[in-house]
A and B are shown apart, each in its own frame.
Chain A
Amino acid sequence: MSEAIEAEQTFADKFPEEARIVRAALLGSFLALTLGAIFGIIQTLHRTGVFRGFISSTDYYTSLTAHGVFLALSFTTFFLVGLFTWAVVRSLDRPLLNTKITWTWYGLMAAGMTMTGVSILAGFVDSIDMSADVLFTFYAPLQAHPMFYAGLAVFIVGSWIAGADYFRTWLAWKRDNPDERIPLQTFMVLTTMAMWYIASSAVAASVLIFLLPWSLGLIDQVNPTLTRTLFWFFGHPVVYFWLMPAYLLWYTVLPKIAGGRLFSDPLARVVFVLFLLLSTPVGIHHQYLDPGIAEGFKFISMTNTMFLLLPSLLTAFTVVASVEYGARQRGGSGLLGWLTDLPWRKPEFTGMMLAGLMFAAGGFSGMVNAGMNINYMIHNTIWVPGHFHLTVGTAVALTFMAATYWLWPQITNKPFYSRTIGLVQVVVWFIGMALMSNAMHAQGIMGVPRRTAEPEYSGFEYATMFGGFEELNIQIAIGGTLLFVSTVLFIGNLVLTMGNPKISGLADPLPPALSGPDDSPKVLDNLRLWVGIALTLVVLAYALPLAAIISRGGLLGPGVGTYPVWLSPLVDALANAATLLSAVVDASASLAEVVR
């Protein structure tokens, strides 16, 4: 065995150029995290009425847009492309084909996100006639500056090239290893990116065909239900796009950290195939309370959504079993006594376990969100952000931060500045989120709306349920503050780590699964088949609803205006120019007639 040599070589030793790319992606991700956290703390204090001095209530929505876009799109996606680059190169054990292409997609993603980010942040500066106060969902007919949409398009195209980069590298590996199973991590990356291509095609179409031309004044109006539906076609699978890298870490890294190995490689593959198949034909469950969409379509979407629980429930079992295996390898015994034999002092372990625990709680509120008619109770209440702060805000974000404690030394050869601070950081995140999310769910049941600068109203008082409105506000404010503190600890620790000298001996190779890939049916690796089925399901779920929406409202909407019209001065100028031009034409025509 070559174990001894491998143990000495980290990813950074073996693939220095790729390690540089992974670092760049992760740093981009952490920059977005920092910005997002700053807006997060401002919003927490503003919304709960604890302190409203940072921004006006009007600017709250600029802040909320920035918080959503920087965290949900930028932080997650940049971390993901970094992690995926590491996972593909590591598990195929070969470098990327052409790192120029890699730097190209990185550059496109960074440029696109910068464009979008600038268009949002300009909303804080009155003297710049640019803003994008449309939140993460950019529902028309609210309109953003064209640069917002253009940046999103560039960002998505960048992510598509990243996917192509992974597929090309895999194909090259396959030519050299024709009879081998796809290594598990690469399999996870490829299925995730396949899902991403399907999902993001809709939002790309929405932006390029409707929203960008509309914001440029090329078309007068859009069909709000159509662009909204295209958004959610993308908007639900995107949550799995965030989640699947966390799953990759739970399946392939967490068991190792726990002292064991993955329980079942075949089941991990089944789970990722299920996500590829079921992530997309479910978006209409975000539109249960939309007029203009038939109840039947909503029911179909619910059924798909409920079955999408399966891969997550299976994951819960497989991951916990893998951890239990690790604990028993370490001498753990008893029915639950083995829980004390786990490496709870390691921030990467405790962070990922706490993230998984919160995801289990998020699973419950997700079931409520998915239950079609119970949506009347919590739709657009703060219950919903309460839910996704458990999922993307903890299951994903905390797993990424925890994984950084393990991954960063591998890609830099620098040990972390303080693993104790790391442990404190992940625990503080957990406590903060437990407080904040719990109170958000409780307020949601009372009917407190999401996405508002001032949730208190003049005409009525909320009924008291699980504590009064004010008391829950305090919980949210304390929780949000702890989350901010946790982010500061994370970023500070990372910055100090960058000053550490490089050392050797940080390598930590991953073991194969207990039940290995040879145990899984070959058909699982038939990506063409799964993509084909996924596309069929998408067509079945969306062809009729989209046709109905277009036949009701038209491609470009029934008499719907534009709010605000960003380019109105420009359009007016163009209109004036046109009038002038036609006057000139008229004049010249009459002149011509006179001459004749």
Chain B
Amino acid sequence: MHIHNYEKIWLAASVLLILLLLGSVTYGAVGPGVAMVSDSEQAIDAGGLDDDDRFSEPRVEQVGENEYEAYVVAYQFGFQPDPIVVPENSTVTFYVTSRDVIHGFEVAGTNANTMVVPGEVSKITVETDDRQEYGLICNEYCGAGHHVMEGKVNVVSQAEFDDRNDGGNGE
């Protein structure tokens, strides 16, 4: 079969391009350490969230020095807790699940973005920088009130975070 030389050049360039794309994604995973939301969490009973340790009371909890976990429930049409308040310059792991249908969890304008599927728990860990208020939106169609489903993720100073949690249950 006859292939013109120019076409061979283009074929080689195309393969090179594909390798560049795959290489970039691999670099992102290995260098800056971007990890995919995955199957690391157990499946969960979407109808039984009220009896679940993490999701019966959606909240942010300190789990180590400068490490926090946020247990978030998405439902038609909102997020709990709202706002989600986390301290600056900390490592925060979001555990997000749905009470009803498929939702999205997107901290607008950032890379924190995941699907939220009933029966599954999405786990994503991020590092916060300075104080900032982010919008939190559902980016998957979830029913007639989809467009009003929003929340906030507020990154606050350590002092403000501690203040808020004072008088709480002191976890």
Instruction: Identify which of B39, B123, B137 gathers the most chain A CB atoms within 10 Å of its CB.
Output: B39
Question: Whole-angstrom distance between the alpha carbons of A313 and B122 in the complex?
Answer: 36
Is B106 an interface residue when CB atoms closer than 8 A count as contact?
Answer: yes
Give the distance to chain A from B140, nearest Cβ to Cβ, in Å. 6
User: Which B residues, 88 to 105, have Cβ-Cβ distances below 8 Å to chain A?
Assistant: 100-102, 104
Within the complex, what minimum Cβ distance (angstroms) separates B27 from chain A?
10
A223 engages B25 (CB within 8 Å): no
Which chain B positions have C-beta within 8 A of A463? 109
Cα(A288)–Cα(B111), bound, Å: 13
Interface check A133, CB cutoff 8 A: yes
A377 and B139 alpha carbons, distance in the complex (Å): 12
Distance (Å) between the CB of A181 and the closest chain B CB?
12
A387 at the interface (CB under 8 A from B): no
Do A291 and B117 touch (CB < 8 A)? yes
Question: CB distance A291 to B1 under 8 Å?
Answer: no
Asked, given contacts A58-B144, A314-B11, A452-B147, whether A558 binds B45 with beta carbons under 8 Å apart, the answer is: yes
Q: With A and B bound together, what is the CA distance between A374 and B47 in angstroms?
A: 33
Complex: A223 Cα to B10 Cα, angstroms: 45
Bound complex: CA of A372 vs CA of B6, how far in Å?
A: 31
- Report chain B residues within 8 Å CB of A42: none
Residue-wise, chain B 79-92 has the 8 Å CB interface mask toward A (1 for contact) of 00000000000000
A520 at the interface (CB under 8 A from B): yes
Flag the segment in A79-87, A235-243, A304-312 that touches B: A304-312
CA distance A463 to B15 in the complex (A): 36
Residues of chain A in range 122-176 having any CB-CB distance to chain B below 8 Å: 133, 135, 139, 141-142
A499-530 interface code vs B (CB 8 A; 1 in, 0 out)? 00000000000000001000111000000000
Asked if A462 is at the interface of the complex by the 8 Å CB criterion, the answer is yes
Asked if A101 is at the interface of the complex by the 8 Å CB criterion, the answer is no
A318 at the interface (CB under 8 A from B): yes
Q: Could you tell me if A309 and B17 are in contact, using CB atoms closer than 8 angstroms?
A: yes
Inter-chain contacts of B111 with A (CB < 8 A): 376-377
Indicate if the CB atoms of B1 and A457 lie closer than 8 Å: no
Residue numbers in B under 8 Å from A142 (CB-CB): 101-102, 141-143
B139 & A381 in contact (Cβ 8 Å cutoff): yes
* A460-B152 contact in complex given A291-B37, A447-B106, A552-B43, C-beta closer than 8 Å: yes
Chain A residues bordering chain B, tally (CB within 8 A): 78
Set A374, A452, A460, A561: member contacting B141, Cβ < 8 A: A452
Contact, CB under 8 Å: A453 / B146: yes
Interface flags for B15-35 (1: CB within 8 Å of A; 0: not) read 101100110110011000011
Q: Using Cβ atoms and an 8 Å threshold, which residues of chain A touch B113?
A: 289, 376-377, 379-380
Docked pose: A289 CA to B101 CA in angstroms: 16
Does any Cβ of B come within 8 Å of A217's Cβ?
A: no
Tell yes or no: A61 within 8 A of B by CB: yes
The answer to whether A302 touches B25, judged by C-beta atoms less than 8 angstroms apart, is yes
B2 within 8 A of A: yes
Chain A hits for B100, CB < 8 A: 141, 561, 563
Which A residues touch B38, using CB under 8 A? 291, 293-295, 298
The distance from the CB of B117 to the nearest CB of chain A, in whole angstroms, is 5
Fill in one digit per residue for A527-570: 1 if any B CB lies within 8 Å of its CB, else 0: 00000000000000000000010001100011111010000000
10 intermolecular pairs with C-beta atoms under 8 Å apart: A58-B144, A133-B144, A225-B119, A228-B102, A290-B115, A291-B116, A291-B123, A295-B38, A457-B137, A459-B150
Which are the 8 A-B pairs with shortest beta-carbon distances? A460-B135, A559-B47, A449-B139, A380-B139, A559-B45, A447-B108, A291-B120, A291-B122
Write the residues of chain B forming the contact surface with A, with a CB cutoff of 8 angstroms.
1-4, 6-7, 10-11, 14-15, 17-18, 21-22, 24-25, 28-29, 34-39, 41, 43-48, 76, 100-102, 104, 106, 108-123, 133-135, 137-148, 150-152
